[in-house]
Chains A and B, each alone.
Chain A
Amino acid sequence: MSQMNLLQSINNALDTAMAADDKVVCFGEDVGHFGGVFRATSHLQEKYGRGRCFNTPLTEQGIIGFANGMASQGHKPVAEIQFGDYIFPAFDQIVNETAKFRYRSGNEFNVGGLTIRTPYGGGIRGGHYHSQSPEAYFAHTPGLKIVVPRNPHQAKGLLLASIRDDNPVIFFEPKRLYRASVGDVPEEDYELPIGVAEVVREGKDVTLLAWGAQMEIISEAAVMAEKDGIDCEVIDLRSILPWDIDTVVASTQKTGRLIVSHEAPITNGFGAEIAATVQEQAFLYLEAPIMRVCGIDVPFPLSHETEYMPDATKVYEAIKASVNY
């Protein structure tokens, strides 16, 4: 074990993957010698050469198109989009190409080796274009997997699993936690399962569900509620596509209450999908309506970022409202 922040654990996962398999290749804007604007790819070019870790021109659609081609050739490209906010020029390549490559060819060809890494989320005073959480757009696209880690240990295991998964994965990295989240990370090679949620705290009164950076927030709210004698169960969804319906439904059936929280705007956020599915499968167990604590429906603000964020006090209020319903 060694202490690493989230960036160091991602760098360590990439290093581990590249050392174990020479088909793994990392590229994107500023990813080469400089090691990425956040330094997630530091020293990889020195270690593995310019052929396997390199800068690309500034073209997100080009990066993902190129990555699709490499993956269909049999390589395992790990393509970086510098900010999740800039992924949209590549939307067509991801939605119409990456996601459909296997299906449309009848499995003659696939891009299962592809992993797209991109930082997402607010809390860094980044305004409209360095703060968004675009996961729901992609969750509407069969053929993709979507993974979001909450801490360094999770990040390494989930990223290694994403790179080796035989399906294309978008790996959203909570950039607010890049340096803020520090923890023990095994030095050896390990994978954590994709599509499996984790109950990080057991409880009997209310189920709190989130992913990525929002896990810190709902865990804090659970501590606040504990002082009121409310026992929260806290779940990290970890994968948004496919998502672990069974674990969430079982927990909701046990507690009778579910609160989902994400930073993205509430309307058509992934919380809506979760609420719809859980009410179908746990209707008679519910003691209160399923609640969502999310961003409001505005472009991500700058001066009002603190007010916009679905913080612990907002989650705490939802917990009380659910219990007192």
Chain B
Amino acid sequence: MSKSIHKPGFILGDALDIPTFRVLKQDGTLYKGASEPDLDKDFALKLYDDLVFIRVLDERMVGAQRQGRIPFYLASLGEEAASVGSAAALQSQDMIFAQYREQGALRHRGFTVDQFMDQCFSNERDLGKGRQMPIHYGCKALNYNTISSPLGTQIPQAAGYAYGQKLEGLDAVTICYFGEGAASEGDFHAGLNMAAVLKSPTIFLCRNNGYAISTPSSEQFLGDGVASRGVGYGIATLRVDGNDLLAVYAATQAAREYALEHQAPVLIEAMSYRLGAHSTSDDPTGYRSKEEEAKWAKKDPILRYKHWLTEKGWWNDEEEKALYASHRETILASLKLAEKRPMPKIDEIINDVYDTPTPQLQQQLKQLKAHIRKYPDKYPKTSGRLDA
């Protein structure tokens, strides 16, 4: 029952003042009153390995795109802790619905360097059979639902996936990543509302990185960020420093417990900054200052986590050098192999439209192959590999 008032009194749009959960200072020491989550040394170092792998991978693949070796790439520079830290707090049976900047979560789950490369080069070993642009990863074995480009579509899907898990009584939740720009899409509002009303154990994790391509979040929405929407939908909500891996880990761990115990959704808004361009098709110099970027570069989440490891006595400069060198070598070697692998055979063009190709599709493939045979030079990547 709503309380009565007898004079018009508005609750202002900025009345909510949602705090930010922080554990780790930039120098690697803990905030007063904060306690570090229970991470043993091996696991803590595995997370650092994931972070550095992604940073090296992104750097190498942006380079590969600049060299014309792949058509597109999208880096997660500056936001690695948000995806690695959250994925680390989940169980392997939990489903991940990603947007497109969560390669850290996928790496954490165990996607191999070759699997990353095969997808980016659209070759015949790509699990997605070369059908989507680079970075649209997906892997059933790792419970990582395949990425699609349209923004926000995964949000109601994650709610439905988690509802299915709930009907089966599984000890599992679904996490759904998206950016603060995607939170303006209708699917965000539809998905959060459905998850709330239907009590679907979903963790919605918004990476608020300040920009949707060139549009700053100040031109994206008013009110107290994306988190305030969660409260509006009646969802348990937490804002966290997205550059603080320990805080993201602890927040996601608590969210998972809450979602399972209450069989209900949780919203986490992870505050971060996209240090790089939106994608290789974007140039941020047109819409933001070097000073702003420099300010955020000092809050580098990987550096912060490294400082913590160093403070613990778990990491030193020699290990640091060796780790970067080893990832650079592995990634480059894998890249060279992946780019030489052929693209899938032309027959794959009609598979998976349906569970089995329709007679019409078979007929269309037959005609296409006959045409390729007639003009083999025009289609060099498939003409040499035609079956009878």
Asked whether A and B interact, the reply is: yes
A84 beta carbon closer than 8 Å to chain B: no
Is the CB–CB distance between B145 and A72 below 8 Å?
Answer: yes
Whether, in the assembled complex, B32 has its beta carbon less than 8 Å from a beta carbon of chain A, the answer is: no
Interface membership of chain B positions 329-366, coded 1 if the CB is closer than 8 angstroms to chain A and 0 otherwise:
00000000000000000000001111100111000000
Which residues in A have their C-beta under 8 angstroms from that of B280?
Answer: none
Question: Is there a chain A Cβ closer than 8 Å to B7's Cβ?
Answer: no
The 8 Å CB contact of B159, one of A66, A110, A242, is A66
Q: How far is the CA of A109 from the CA of B142 in the complex (A)?
A: 12
Selected A-B contacts with CB under 8 Å, 15 pairs: A56-B197, A61-B156, A62-B193, A65-B153, A65-B160, A71-B160, A75-B164, A75-B167, A102-B352, A105-B128, A106-B128, A106-B131, A106-B146, A107-B351, A143-B354
Residues of B within 8 Å of A63, CB to CB, are 194
Which residue of chain B lies nearest to A142 when distances are taken between CB atoms in the complex?
A: B353
B interface residue count range (under 10 / 10 to 19 / 20 to 34 / 35 or more): 35 or more
- B138, B153, B165, B186: the one within 8 Å of A73 (CB): B165
The 8 Å CB contact of A93, one of B153, B161, B355, B358, is B153
Q: Does A77 sit within 8 A of B, measured CB to CB?
A: yes
User: Which residue of chain B lies nearest to A102 when distances are taken between CB atoms in the complex?
Assistant: B352
Query: Which residues of B have CB within 8 Å of A102?
Result: 352-355
Cβ-based interface call for B157 (8 A): yes
Interface string of A81-110 (1 = CB under 8 A from B): 000000001001100110011111111111
Q: In the complex, A6 Cα to B361 Cα: how many Å?
A: 33
Binding site for A on B (CB under 8 A): 95, 97, 126-129, 131-132, 136, 138-140, 145-146, 148, 150, 153, 155-165, 167, 174, 186-187, 189-191, 193-194, 197-198, 351-355, 358-360
Q: A74-B164, A89-B186 are in contact. Are A66 and B132 (CB under 8 A)?
A: no
Q: Is the CB of B167 within 8 A of A25?
A: yes
**Smallest CB-CB separation from B146: which chain A residue?**
A105
A104 touching B160 in the complex, CB below 8 Å, given contacts A62-B193, A92-B153: no
Min distance, Cβ A196 to any Cβ of chain B, angstroms: 11
CB distance from A242 to the nearest CB of B (A): 4
Range of interface residues on A (Cβ < 8 Å): 35 or more
* Interface status of A54 (Cβ within 8 A of chain B): yes
Of A92, A105, A167, the contact of B150 (CB 8 Å cutoff): A92
Bound together, the chains give a CA A62 to CA B193 distance in angstroms of: 9
Evaluate contact between A65 and B156: CB separation under 8 angstroms: yes
Asked if residues B146 and A108 are in contact (CB atoms below 8 Å), the reply is: yes
Q: A69–B138 contact, CB under 8 A?
A: no
**What's the least CB distance linking A49 to chain B, in Å?**
10
Quick one: which of A54-68 are within 8 Å of B by CB?
Answer: 54, 56-57, 59, 61-68
B202 closest partner in A (C-beta): A69
Closest-by-CB residue of B relative to A54 is: B198
Q: Does A70 contact B (CB under 8 A)?
A: yes
Q: Does A245 contact B (CB under 8 A)?
A: yes
Residues in chain B near residue A70, CB distance under 8 A = 160-161, 163-164
8 Å CB contact of B161 from A69, A92, A142, A195: A69
Q: Interface digits, A14-52 against B, CB 8 Å rule (1 contact, 0 not)? A: 000000000001000000000000000000000000011
Q: Which of A52, A72, A106 contacts B129 (CB 8 A)?
A: A106
